[in-house]
Amino acid sequence: RRVLKALLPESGADIKGHMYSRQDLLAASEYSSRPRDFDALIRILDHELRLITPTDPEGQSLDDDEAVPTQASPHRKYYQLTHDYIVPSLREWLTRKQKETRRGRAALRLAERSTQWNAKPENRRLPAWWEVINIRLFTRKQAWTSSQRRMMRKASIVQGVRMAALSVVLAAAIFSLRYVVDWNRRSRADSLVEAVLTAAPDAVPYAIDNLRPLQRFALDSLSDRLNAGIRDRGQRLRALCAIAQLAQVDPSAIVSLIAEAKAGECVSIISALSGSVQDAMAAIESSAREAASRSDWIVKSRLAIVALHLGDPRLTQEMLEVEN
């Protein structure tokens, strides 16, 4: 099939085509390492099937046993198809065989596109990007004709430019989409943060749970509000508790607000401090010593209650001791 394909004329022509030297046909057949098999193949195609015939460079047909050597090219034989009328049948048979394999289909696509583009070099006649990839994967570049090489070079340039432009458009679209999505999430997070700051004390834990799906945006919103300065003590406490449960915050900032916290806010404070009990207890003990130095037993008792909820009864025991 490779030998007959080499002897066929260009697609669209029905004349028997040019002659090829024995050496060229040997290379086309990929029998270079099997010269005896190639000789047997040539005998079958010539003597038995009468599909090819030996000829000389001047175009005269010769019998196979006639000498063909010339002074310019000694010991070389040339062959071509025997008749014009076998060209359509051979082309149809070879095409049908090629379609049976992926490599064959890629080679057919290459030949088809090359013929179309070389006849009228327009970009719309070039293979699409997936066809370029398919051709490069399943055909051998060394086997391409000069016209096919020109077409593939042009296709690679054009498709490369198109892919680069498409990449820029896609990147811009993805960036825009991400910006819109992030903006919507940030707006949603702002609304949920506002709900946390204004919620009733017993509803704060549930409001904070609503922030978890938007944790990154909620933390940004909470940090922005704290940096801007929240004057309301209760809202500041809620913001700190939310940050502590979503990420991490200095426990001393929350502990400093226990003195004026409302009874209903105790649950939120304990939940916020539960994530770092050791640091929280250090801050509570420091505040308790300071309160004791002022004889502020109410604040110390509040601190003892929180410590007890965190699993540390020492402050409570200390406050219940009776002096003799």
Which among 162, 172, 176 is positioned nearest to 130, based on CA atoms? 162
Say what the pTM is: 0.47
**Weakest mean pLDDT among 36-50, 67-81, 299-313:** 67-81
Summarize the chain as % helix, strand, coil (round to 5): 70, 5, 25
CB neighbour class for 25 (10 Å; exposed up to 12, middle 13-18, buried from 19) = buried
pLDDT digits (tens, 9 = 90+) for 49-60: 999 999 876 655
In whole angstroms, give the CA distance from residue 87 to residue 89.
Answer: 6
- Percent of the chain scored above 90 by pLDDT? 45
pLDDT digits (tens, 9 = 90+) for 5-51: 888 887 666 676 678 888 889 988 889 899 899 999 999 999 999 99
Which among 17, 37, 29 is positioned nearest to 86, based on CA atoms? 17
In whole angstroms, give the CA distance from residue 151 to residue 131.
Answer: 13
In whole angstroms, give the CA distance from residue 296 to residue 289.
Answer: 10
